[in-house]
Amino acid sequence: MNTENNHNIVVEVETNYIEGQSEPDNERYVFSYTITIRNEGGQPAQLLSRHWIITDAHGNIQEVKGEGVVGEQPHLNPGEGFQYTSGAMISTPVGSMRGTYQMVADDGDEFDAEIPPFTLAIPRTLH
């Protein structure tokens, strides 16, 4: 796997707490997250799969692996972006997510695009 190349996939995240689907009394906290993936490199690339690591405040880890995102494997030319919204459920009011997207460039080069760690938190739980 070659990492010294012109691949530059930028990942941005926005999160929301979904109060209507959450049940704090049952240790069920539901969050949505909107991901924007942008190809800022010089090489077209396609997202093949994802690997998420979701951690709650007790240190419990859920790993999620699967093909594509929201049923798609977007192909991004340089300068193009793709946005989708998905969700996660954890058993504490605060948690975090991080991961990677497994990508393949049009030249056949496979690489991972890093998903920077982000926090899942009920509003007003973090000061």
Question: What pLDDT sits at residue 4?
Answer: 44
pLDDT tens-digit profile of 40-96? 999 999 999 999 999 999 999 999 999 999 999 999 999 999 999 999 999 999 999
In whole angstroms, what is the distance from residue 23 CA to residue 8 CA? 39
Domain boundaries, the chain: 9-121
For 9-121, CATH number? 2.60.40.1470
pLDDT digits (tens, 9 = 90+) for 89-110: 999 999 999 999 999 999 999 9
pLDDT given at position 124: 80
Q: What pLDDT score does 125 carry?
A: 54
Helix, strand or coil, per DSSP, at residue 104: strand
Contact 121, 19 (CB under 8 A): no
CB 50, CB 72: distance < 8 Å: no
pTM for the model: 0.90
